[in-house]
Structure 1
Amino acid sequence: TFPDGTKKSVGVVLPATLTFNTGAPEIMECVAGGCEYKLAGTDVWQKSGPGEKFSIPGNSSFEIRVTEAYHYICHFG
Structure 2
Amino acid sequence: MINVNEYFDGAVKSLAYTAIDGKSTIGVIESGEYEFGTSTNETMTVIEGELVALLPGEANWETFTNGQSFEVPANTSFKVKSKNQTSYLCKYR
CA distance in 2, matches of 1:57, 1:35: 18
Q: Aligned residue pairs: how many?
A: 76
The one-letter amino acid of 2:34's match is L
The one-letter amino acid of 1:66's match is S
Higher relative contact order (CA 8 A, sep 6+): 1
Q: Which runs of 5+ in 2 are unaligned?
A: 1-17
- 1:35-63 per-residue CA deviation (whole Å, 9 max, x = no partner) reads 10001222110000001000000000100
The one-letter amino acid of 1:41's match is G
Alignment partner of 1:30 is 2:46: yes
TM-score, normalization by structure 1: 0.93
1:49 is aligned, of 41, 65, 85, to: 65
Stretches of 4+ aligned residues off by more than 2 angstroms: none
Tell me how far 1:5 sits from its aligned partner. 5.0
Task: Give identity over the alignment, percent.
Answer: 26
What RMSD over aligned residues (CA atoms) do the two structures have, in Å?
A: 1.0
The one-letter amino acid of 2:92's match is F
TM-score, normalization by structure 2: 0.78
Q: Which has the higher strand share?
A: 2
Q: Which runs of 5+ in 1 are unaligned?
A: none
